[in-house]
Every structure is written in structure tokens, then in C-alpha cells.
């Protein structure tokens, strides 16, 4: 089956670093995406990993290990506006079709002063 | 600026009524998608289209229908056969099936 696991909630302090983990078991793998979603709003694209290793983009970095079915999103210098839900999504093949995104349930991050 | 426009932002449906959610994009993207988001659950794929005049069922297509007559437009109809339609509906598009999907602002559908 298709399965993506993320922690449900996390809390961190303003200015600190937080790591949000994602593990997946999917049939086929064409890349992993991270999205940020503020309450009541649409998800916005943060990062994309298709090869093993670290991708850095400003305060946000994302890591992928395909052999372990594991990714993490690293947020540095946390700001209050980073309080949001972070969605892990895997581009997979299932149901007889390719390139379908499977989303985790999201990790709700609360940044405290 | 290019983007994805969903309308209306809020929609109310009466029992036994069909309603249509609009999704328009001017990003020149080939692929378009409809997702449903319920509290405590991940986004679930309803329908997707990788090219004009072609679309496929996603994981929860029952009670929904779509059309893709133009590249820019991918409307979703929630039919009376969908027994639990209250949810946040998100439309997305991407250049190809492997590039990042960009989302509209969503439509929140409720039952009267």
C-alpha cells in the first residue's frame, strides 16, 4: 500500500531550529515535495527532492534518503510566521497511473516566543 | 501575474443539488488536479487531467465529475451522489506530472 507518516504536531521556539521528519512506503518513487499550509489557506510549494542528499533554500532545507524511505524538512531561525502545517508528499505510481502525489496528514508546527 | 483562480471561496449546497466549483489557471500548465481536504486527513485526489480532453479518476472520485475542454479550465461538479460533500476543495496545476503543483486558494463547501 501507499503510506506516508509525519508527526502530528510540533512546538519550537522563535529563533531556534526545528526538523520535521517524513517516512514513506510507496510503490514507485518520482520525487518528494514539501508544502507549507497556513490555516484556511492553500498549500505553497517549499522544496523538491528526487536524488539523495540535502537541498537548501534560504532558511529551509530538505533532505532525502531513498534507501531508507526518509526525508526531513529543516527550518532555521524560526519566525512566528512559520507557524503552519507542513505537508510531505511523494510522487508515486499507483492505481495504474504514474505521477500521482500522495500526501501525508501534515505536521502542525507552533512557534512560540 | 500568473496563477490559479478558484471560485467561489464559499459555497453552500442543498440536499439533492449538484454544484460546480470553478478552477482556472493562466500558467500554461498541462496538468490539473482536484483534491479534497478534511480535518485531520491529508489531501486526497479526486480527479486529475494531464492533457486537454482527457482526465482520470483519483482515489475518491465517486460522487464527483469533471471536464477538461480547455487547457486553462478544470471545473469540478459535486453531485447529489456525494453523501458527505462538506470539505475544503483545492485545485492545483503543474507543468508536467513531475513538477511542483501550485494550488488555488480553495473553495469551502458546506451543506445547508
* pLDDT tier for residue B35 given thresholds of 50, 70 and 90: very high
| Chain-chain contact of B42 with A105 (C-beta, under 8 angstroms) | yes
* Residue A17: pLDDT over 80: yes
pLDDT (0 to 100) of residue B97: 79
**Using the beta-carbon criterion (under 8 Å), do A41 and B104 form an inter-chain contact?**
no
Binary contact (A105, B97; C-beta < 8 A): no
B26 min Cα distance to partner chain A (Å): 17
Shortest CB distance from A33 goes to which of B48, B100, B106?
A: B100
Helix (H, G, I), strand (E, B) or coil at A82: helix
Q: What is the rounded CA–CA span in Å between residue B79 and residue B10? A: 17
**Would you say B56 and A97 are in contact if contact means Cβ atoms under 8 Å apart?**
yes
Distance CA A78, CA A92 (A): 31
The per-residue pLDDT for range A40-67, each reduced to its tens digit, is 899 999 999 999 999 999 999 999 999 9
Burial of A113: CB neighbours in 10 Å, binned 0-12, 13-18, 19+: exposed
pLDDT in tens, A73-85: 999 999 999 999 9
Amino acid at each position: 500500500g501507499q503510506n506516508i507518516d509525519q508527526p502530528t504536531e510540533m512546538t519550537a521556539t522563535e529563533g531556534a531550529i526545528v526538523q520535521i521528519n517524513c517516512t514513506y512506503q510507496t510503490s514507485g518513487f518520482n520525487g518528494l515535495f514539501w508544502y507549507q499550509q497556513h490555516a484556511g489557506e492553500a498549500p505553497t510549494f517549499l522544496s523538491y527532492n528526487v536524488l539523495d542528499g540535502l537541498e537548501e533554500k534560504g532558511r529551509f532545507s530538505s533532505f532525502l534518503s531513498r534507501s531508507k524511505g526518509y526525508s526531513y524538512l529543516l527550518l532555521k531561525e524560526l519566525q512566528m510566521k512559520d507557524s503552519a502545517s507542513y505537508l510531505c508528499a511523494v510522487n508515486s505510481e499507483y492505481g495504474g497511473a504514474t505521477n500521482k502525489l500522495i500526501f501525508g496528514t501534515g505536521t502542525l508546527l507552533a512557534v512560540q516566543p | 501575474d500568473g496563477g490559479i483562480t478558484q471560485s467561489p471561496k464559499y459555497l453552500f449546497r442543498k440536499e439533492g443539488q449538484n454544484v460546480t466549483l470553478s478552477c482556472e489557471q493562466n500558467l500554461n500548465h498541462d496538468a490539473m488536479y482536484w483534491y479534497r481536504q478534511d480535518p485531520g486527513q491529508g489531501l486526497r485526489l479526486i480527479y486529475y487531467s494531464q492533457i486537454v480532453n482527457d482526465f482520470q479518476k483519483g482515489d475518491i472520485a465517486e460522487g464527483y465529475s469533471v471536464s477538461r475542454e480547455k487547457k486553462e479550465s478544470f471545473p469540478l461538479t459535486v453531485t447529489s451522489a456525494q453523501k458527505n460533500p462538506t470539505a475544503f476543495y483545492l485545485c492545483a496545476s503543474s507543468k508536467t506530472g513531475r513538477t511542483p503543483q501550485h494550488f488555488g486558494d480553495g473553495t469551502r463547501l458546506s451543506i445547508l
